[in-house]
Amino acid sequence: MASYETAKARAFAHATTTVLTGVPLDAPEDHPLRQAGSLPIQVCVCVTDPCPCDGHPIVWADEAAVRSRATTGRLTSGGDEVFDFAIDVDASVVVETFSRVKASEAAGLTGAARPAAPPPYIVRRRPDAARSARRDSPCHGGGGGPATLSADAGCNDIEITESGVTYCFAESSEHYCIYVLC
């Protein structure tokens, strides 16, 4: 039987941290963000094994904001171990993204700096992932969502926000996931 203290500690961790899934990266000690005490993490979205992480953003999180690091038991296609990083929910992180632009557009970038655009998509654990196993979850057919979908824990506990719209994953077969509006 679970104890009150264990349940309270889990609830506190869930309320005060968010989980980033990814691979810790080696960075030179003279990198400015490394010198500032940040840890680079290659973010991963693992649906199949091995976990494809290439092409996803690199997130720099302050090492003091990382509360825990737990192995997921998964590997990337390059053989690196994938971890879940519990990070303070209010911590600021730096997200490195790259955009391909035409050379003619790049010539116009030499002027005043433009405000940074949000990343094209944000992948994170659902804040209410503990509720994901309940039948009233949109990804289980409740809450107005399609009634025929079912989701496994790996797909259902992740949400993607793209252009301000949030989607929940729902499993459509053993190897593929589709996502629906949360």
Indicate whether 160 pLDDT > 50: yes
Indicate whether 122 pLDDT > 90: no
If you average pLDDT over residues 130-149, what whole number do you get? 42
Q: Would you give the distance in Å from CA 76 to the centre of its chain?
A: 15
> Mean pLDDT, the chain, as a whole number?
76
Residue 163 CA to residue 97 CA, distance in Å, equals 16
Instruction: State the pLDDT at residue 133.
Output: 43
For residue 64, give the DSSP letter: G
- What backbone torsions phi and psi does residue 86 show, to the nearest 5 degrees? -85, 115
Cα distances from 118 to residues 13, 30, 92, 155, in angstroms, run: 27, 27, 14, 24
Residue 178 CA to residue 167 CA, distance in Å, equals 9
Residue 141 CA to residue 132 CA, distance in Å, equals 11
CB distance 50 to 39 below 8 Å: no
Could you read off the pLDDT of 1-60 as tens digits, one per residue? 889 999 998 888 888 899 999 999 999 999 999 999 999 999 988 888 888 888 788 999
Burial class (CB within 10 angstroms; exposed 0-12, middle 13-18, buried 19+) of 168: buried
Q: Which residue has the higher pLDDT, 105 or 130?
A: 105
Burial class (CB within 10 angstroms; exposed 0-12, middle 13-18, buried 19+) of 176: exposed
Could you read off the pLDDT of 86-104 as tens digits, one per residue? 999 989 899 987 777 788 7
Instruction: State the pLDDT at residue 151.
Output: 40
Structure tokens given for 91: 């911590």
**Whole-structure pTM over 0.85, yes or no?**
no
Residue percentage of the chain with pLDDT more than 90: 33
Indicate whether 77 pLDDT > 90: no
